[in-house]
Amino acid sequence: MRKGRFAPWQWVKRWLFKVLLAVACVWFMGILVFRFIPVPFSAVMVERQLSAWFSGNFSYVAHSDWVSMDEISPWMGLAVIASEDQKFPEHWGFDTDAIEKALAHNERHERRVRGASTLSQQTAKNLFLWDGRSWLRKGLEAGLTVGIETAWSKRRILTVYLNIAEFGEGVFGVEEASRRYFNKPASRLTPAEAALLAAVLPNPIRFKANAPSGYIRQRQQWILRQMRQLGGESFLGQHNLN
């Protein structure tokens, strides 16, 4: 009786273990494969598309046009580094100083939560995980970040990030964003345009690159100043990122 009573739970545990193992294998293979080939879509793109369909919005299309780093203006790479992760060329996936500052800030301001995700962490999350905040997702994100930092170069991480980042409703990747908002390929983005795109990244659904608020304009100017302080295009060359 006792054996039969616990058999279903044992079956569930074995089933969950197999599912988790299968997911881990898919992630591992994804890290290896996407080291070399273009990323066709991300987990966030799939999530947005399914959410639109389930809400009855069949006109929504999560779309991205993959381009190599050689086809992206160097100002764009510099803009996202200046805006999101200035220690990107140096760290191993996590900015411990930024994490400590964010924890201290969040203890003082519970209603204004500040994140400390690096470009590597954002790439891992956007590519493989769901949106939102939870300790489970952060734990998985940390493991995936270690994986891509181990298997990919910094240039590759930046390339994938720029190709899957969300820049607006249904707008994924810098090529799609550049053509949508500026009617030009990503290779021709100016410093000001790159900074404007980077300015909306914290919340691309709320902030609009094609209708920037005063706050976004101020953020754009701040990013431009940071780009100059980092050394402009020479910064990317020094770290083999362009």
pLDDT band at 132 (very low <50, low <70, confident <90, very high): confident
**pLDDT-derived band at 240, boundaries 50, 70, 90:** confident
Q: Is 3.30.450.40 the CATH classification of the domain at 41-55+66-239? A: no
pLDDT at position 210: 94
**Using an 8 Å Cβ cutoff, are 166 and 175 in contact?**
no
**Please, which pLDDT band fits residue 111 given cuts at 50, 70 and 90?**
low
Q: Average pLDDT in the 4-15 region?
A: 67
Q: Who's near 242: CB < 8 A, 6+ residues apart?
A: 69, 74, 77, 233, 236
* 135-176 residue pLDDT tens: 888 888 999 999 999 999 999 999 999 999 999 999 999 999
Domain assignments of the chain as residue spans, ordered by start: 41-55+66-239
Confidence class for position 17, pLDDT limits 50, 70, 90: low
Residue 78 makes CB contacts below 8 A (sequence gap 6+) with 194, 227, 230, 232, 233, 235, 236
What pLDDT, on the 0 to 100 scale, is given for residue 114? 52
pLDDT(22) > 90:
no
List, for residues 29-83, the tens digit of each pLDDT value.
889 999 999 999 999 999 999 999 999 988 888 888 999 999 999 999 999 999 9
Question: What per-residue confidence (pLDDT) applies to 135?
Answer: 81
pLDDT > 60? residue 113: no
Annotate 48-79 with b (16+ C-beta within 10 A) or e (fewer): bbeebeeeeeeeeebebbbbebeebbbbbbbb
Mean pLDDT on 188-203: 97
Within 8 A by CB and 6+ apart from 155, the residues are: 69, 240, 241
